[in-house]
Structure 1
């Protein structure tokens, strides 16, 4: 795997972990304004999840890397993004499987799981590279105190 440098986010947590994944998936953007992307096509997405927190769990993990892989890779690898109708749809632009929306949806899946953990880590950002020259970073909006 090629080493990547990711956009960093300033924080005051004691621990930060990053998990990289490759996902082979297809999608189409269901609107005429998407041009060629309106047609079904595939990518080898490169995903990086950044998780931070102050407390480790009973195994000494912030979160187990395998859990992150299960939440993202297992769900999306070798699928058609549009077929995940509980996450994406063809009628609302904020739910089209664009790279921006894919990054947000993946962040939501990770963050929702993290909030069930006793040590309460948080997902600071989710990076999705769709092509060698195009990527999106999703970060949740935070208040001035970082919450």
Structure 2
């Protein structure tokens, strides 16, 4: 994986971690006005998670990096996103993929005693196109 700079998030927390990983998946946008994206096609998605908090767990981790990758990679890698339960009734655009990853990560973090917060999800779909998702009302300044 290449070194990448991501948009930063201002926040009051002591600790911030960023985890990069990728997964390969196919999707299609089921609307005629999506142009050629209406046809099934694939991407190698590059993802960065920004997670912050004040309290470390019993291992001295905010979150174990490998837990974050397992949470998403195993769910999405080498699948047709449109067929997955997370995208039923939704168009799996990069924006929706980023929002869905946020929801999955934050739901997992909410179960932890140290209560870290997912501040942003960055999803690169192609070398020239990416989306950043930050939950509304999460201004951490």
The Cα offsets for residues 40-85 of structure 1, whole Å up to 9 and x where unpaired, read as 000010000110000000111101111101111111111111111x
Whole-angstrom CA distance in 2 between matches of 1:143 and 1:104: 14
| 4+ residue runs over 3 A deviation | none
- Provide the aligned C-alpha RMSD in A: 1.3
Structure 1: stretches of 5+ with no match in the other structure: none
Deviates more, 1:69-78 or 1:103-112: 69-78
Q: Which residue of 1 aligns with 2:125?
A: 130
For 1:87, what is the secondary structure of its paired residue?
helix
Structure 1 counterpart of 2:29: 29
Q: TM-score, normalised by structure 1?
A: 0.92
| Number of residue equivalences | 141
Q: Give, in whole Å, the separation in 1 of the partners of 2:74 and 2:92.
A: 17
Q: Structure 2, unaligned stretches of length 5 or more?
A: none
Distance 1:74 1:133, change over 3 A: same
Of 122, 136, 139, which residue of structure 2 is paired with 1:141?
136
Instruction: Report the TM-score, using the length of structure 2 for normalisation.
Output: 0.96
